[in-house]
Amino acid sequence: MRVAGLGLSLLLVAGCSGASAPAEAVPALGSILGRVDRAIAGKQFDQARQELDRLVQTTLEAREAGDLDSAQAEPILAAVISLTTKLPRPQPADDKMREELEKEREKLEKELEAEKKKLAESKEEAANKQEETRQGDPQQGEPQHEEPQHEDKNKEDKKKQDKRGGDEGGKEEGGGNGRSSKHRPDDGHGN
pLDDT digits (tens, 9 = 90+) for 93-142: 677 778 888 888 888 888 888 888 888 898 898 889 888 888 765 555 44
pLDDT digits (tens, 9 = 90+) for 129-181: 888 888 765 555 444 544 555 556 666 666 666 666 555 444 444 555 555 55
Q: Tell me, what's the pLDDT at 19?
A: 44
**DSSP letter string, the chain:** -HHHHHHHHHHHHHTSSSTT-HHHH-HHHHHHHHHHHHHHHTT-HHHHHHHHHHHHHHHHHHHHHTSS-HHHHHHHHHHHHHHHHHS----HHHHHHHHHHHHHHHHHHHHHHHHHHHHHHHHHHHHHHHHHHHHH-HHHHHHHHHHHHHHHHHHHHHHHHHHHHHHHHHHHHTTSSS--TTTS---SS--
Counting Cα atoms < 13 Å in the Cβ hemisphere of 39 gives 20
- The structure's pTM equals 0.43
